[in-house]
Amino acid sequence: MSASAPRLRRSWHLTKRFFGALVPGAPSSDDETWVAHVLSPKLFDEWKAMPDHDRRHSISVARRLQLGLSTTEHADDDQWVAAALVHDVGKLDADLGVFARVAATLARGALGHERTDRWIDRHGWRLHCARYLRHDELGAARIRAAGGPEAVARWAAAHHDRSHWVGTGIPPEVVAALDAADDD
């Protein structure tokens, strides 16, 4: 695989997420009922606070994960489904709409991690961007505050950085399935 392949895959993923976010509508009531059975009441409240497009995406990720784990020993472990459902919950802290999220992502690409990471100490739009760009760690904090499983919080914190995956303690087979489900 070429060095640019992961970047192209990520760009394609973000492009699909953008256009999917433009589609209006909440998840189906059957899907919401299913999510309520998978998540604890406090985690469900966090999930329910997410915008419709993020909730629809998380359901798609969770369903793909179930399929990816269906022939493994992890098939019936709902903590991994929970990890798929709330991996992006930290985006709530940014309070950014779809187009502002795109702008934040482009700013990170143009200005780099080091500069945009310093925005966490700013005010206004830059602070919101920094929170969006750090949604992984903010999501882990939300999951822990809601009493969610530690493995779910560790996945939220690490899901964007492959170098942190080994340290999560999550079985490699599950990590691969979570990544594939989110990147489809």
pLDDT, position 15: 77
41-45, 47-51, 113-117, 155-159: the lowest-pLDDT one: 113-117
d(CA 48, CA 55): 8
Q: What is this structure's pTM?
A: 0.89
41-50, 73-82, 109-118: the lowest-pLDDT one: 109-118
pLDDT, position 163: 87
d(CA 32, CA 18): 22
- Tens-digit pLDDT profile for residues 77-105: 999 999 999 999 999 999 999 999 999 99
pLDDT, position 31: 98
pLDDT, position 142: 98
pLDDT, position 148: 97
Span 19-42, mean pLDDT? 92
